[in-house]
């Protein structure tokens, strides 16, 4: 599977000094911001839908199951289509698909229907999947190979900026009205319950209408912008591919599991934080207040990525990855062993150490793969399905042993990432 076809006559090579690709890099970075913002809004939707439809943790984690499950379904087909039509058409198609998903929130809120909300999330995520499949390897290959991790980390910092502001915006617009308790909902008559659900669900309509408009506008801008072709990334290397396969690269296989573990851990923690801060022995905070504190989790990732883009130019990426993952695992363990505000601070601090993990795992995973890079990108993006499976498993665990100690699952994920950083080595070194 190749990365894309030529779209302009201008060629950008891996030996450019940085002057040539800054414009295209800045344009693609806007996509990272947009999908970060939308992905993080799920953390606001989870407590909101949980209260509206009176769901348990396992049931409400179907939000993340639907959203991140789309990566498993659409990543490889998106990579195949990108090979045929190129980057820019896929980016435009992804943005328009996302707009359709955002607009579907309106009938979902009018119904109101939890299955329809899940359907809207699947369509929204399908569009984001298309963007990820095209944009991540594009940024990694758009410039010198030695700075790929630093470059992708920098663009991911703007992804984190989206996740940083989303909890605040979502908390104000979506969680502004205090929900009724489960006991109060149980006492409602059917007609009264339906009216309550419609009123609560209506708070999502305006934000997602604005989002849909912004996505269409961005699709028009991207469509008018000329993105450069990256030589050597497309097909035409059949002879080499016939004697090689992605499955034979142990480093890639470990990287796929690493992406699965990382996204699963990051999303699981973010998904539970608002409810975690609501617990009496932790913060006893209203959901809206907890949503605002969520900005520190995602804001830490943003700050860490700006810092990491510099550090990764000075320190070997595998060392930085191993250190961050080990500290993240320790912070999660401390969170489980403590309570009150101290537990809140330690779990929020995990966001800072999450910062460089995705871009570093991704670039290390495709290291040295040459013409197999496109196919490898599809596999790595498919592994984002970890954001669907691990939060749901943690939800099942939380329903049985409580939300506090269910965090042991992300801790295990971070320990695997340490293993990948120390043991995963490319069979063929990147040029």
User: What are the φ and ψ backbone dihedral angles of 267, each rounded to 5 degrees?
Assistant: -70, -40
Domain that holds residue 153: 22-423
pLDDT tens for each residue of the chain, 431 residues long: 333 333 333 334 444 444 457 777 888 888 888 888 888 888 888 888 888 888 888 888 898 888 988 888 998 888 778 777 777 888 899 999 999 999 999 999 888 889 999 999 999 999 999 888 877 777 776 767 677 777 788 888 888 888 888 877 877 777 666 565 566 666 777 777 777 777 777 888 888 999 999 999 999 988 888 777 655 444 444 444 445 666 667 888 899 999 999 999 999 999 899 889 989 999 888 887 888 888 899 889 889 988 998 898 889 999 999 999 999 999 999 999 999 999 999 999 999 999 999 989 988 887 777 666 767 777 888 898 898 899 999 999 999 999 999 999 999 999 999 999 998 776 544 43
Q: Flag whether 276 is in a domain.
A: yes
Q: Flag whether 9 is in a domain.
A: no
Distance of CA 282 to the CA centre of its chain: 27
Q: Flag whether 6 is in a domain.
A: no
Q: Flag whether 228 is in a domain.
A: yes
Q: What does the buried/exposed string (b/e) look like for 63-102 if buried means 16 or more CB atoms within 10 Å of the residue's CB? A: bbbbbbbbbbebbbebbebbbeebbbbbbbbbbbbbbbbb
Q: Flag whether 17 is in a domain.
A: no
For residue 166, what are its two tokens? 């989303």
Q: How far apart are CA 292 and CA 282, in angstroms?
A: 16
Residue with tokens 């830490």: 300
Residue with tokens 């009123």: 199
Q: Flag whether 59 is in a domain.
A: yes
Q: What are the DSSP calls for 28-63, one per residue?
A: HHHHHHHHHHHHHHHHHHHHHHHHHHT--HHHHTHH
Q: Flag whether 430 is in a domain.
A: no
Q: Flag whether 76 is in a domain.
A: yes
Q: Is the peptide bond before 218 cis (omega within 30 degrees of 0)?
A: no
Q: How far apart are CA 116 and CA 103, in angstroms?
A: 12
Please report, for the domain that includes residue 276, its CATH number.
1.20.1250.20
Query: What is the number of domains present in the chain?
Result: 1
SS3 content of the chain, % helix, strand, coil (to 5): 80, 0, 20
Q: Give the number of other CB atoms < 10 A from CB of residue 300.
A: 20
Q: What are the DSSP calls for 263-308, one per residue?
A: HHHHHHHHHHHHHHHHSTTTT---HHHHHHHHHHHHHHHHHHHHHH
Angle at 413 between CA 409 and CA 415, to 5 degrees: 115
């Amino acid at each position: 599977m190749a990365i894309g076809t030529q779209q302009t006559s201008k060629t950008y090579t891996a030996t450019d000094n940085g002057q040539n690709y800054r414009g295209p890099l800045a344009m693609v970075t806007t996509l990272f911001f947009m999908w970060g913002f939308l992905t993080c809004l799920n953390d606001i939707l989870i407590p909101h839908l949980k209260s509206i439809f009176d769901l348990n943790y396992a049931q409400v984690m179907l939000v993340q199951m639907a959203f991140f499950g789309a990566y498993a379904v659409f990543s490889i087909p998106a990579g195949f289509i990108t090979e045929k039509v190129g980057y820019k058409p896929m980016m435009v198609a992804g943005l328009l698909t996302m707009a359709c998903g955002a607009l579907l929130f309106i009938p979902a809120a009018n119904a109101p229907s939890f299955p329809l909300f899940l359907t809207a999330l699947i369509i929204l995520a399908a569009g984001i999947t298309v963007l990820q499949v095209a944009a991540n390897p594009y940024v990694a290959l758009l410039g010198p190979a030695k700075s790929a991790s630093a470059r992708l980390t920098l663009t991911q910092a703007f992804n984190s900026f989206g996740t940083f502001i989303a909890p605040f915006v979502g908390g104000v617009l979506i969680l502004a009205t205090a929900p009724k308790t489960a006991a109060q909902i149980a006492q409602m008559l059917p007609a009264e319950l339906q009216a309550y659900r419609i009123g609560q669900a209506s708070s999502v309509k305006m934000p997602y209408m604005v989002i849909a408009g912004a996505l269409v506008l961005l699709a028009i801008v991207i469509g008018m912008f000329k993105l450069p072709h990256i030589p050597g990334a497309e097909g035409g290397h059949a002879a080499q591919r016939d004697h090689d396969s992605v499955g034979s690269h142990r480093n890639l296989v470990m990287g796929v599991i690493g992406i699965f573990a990382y996204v699963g851990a990051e999303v699981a923690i973010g998904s539970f934080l608002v409810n975690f801060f609501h617990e009496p022995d932790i913060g006893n905070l209203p959901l809206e207040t907890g949503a605002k504190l969520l900005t520190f989790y995602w804001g830490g990732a943003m700050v860490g990525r700006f810092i990491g883009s510099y550090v990764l130019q000075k320190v070997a990426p595998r060392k930085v990855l191993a250190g961050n993952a080990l500290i993240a695992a320790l912070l999660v363990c401390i969170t489980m062993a403590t309570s009150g505000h101290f537990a809140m601070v330690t779990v929020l601090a995990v966001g800072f150490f999450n910062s460089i993990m995705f871009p570093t795992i991704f670039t290390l995973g495709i290291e040295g793969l040459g013409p197999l890079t496109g196919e490898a990108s599809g596999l790595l993006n498919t592994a984002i399905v970890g954001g669907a499976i691990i939060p749901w498993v943690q939800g099942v665990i939380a329903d049985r042993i409580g939300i506090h100690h269910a965090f042991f699952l992300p801790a295990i994920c971070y320990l695997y990432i340490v293993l990948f950083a120390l043991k995963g080595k490319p069979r063929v070194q990147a040029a």
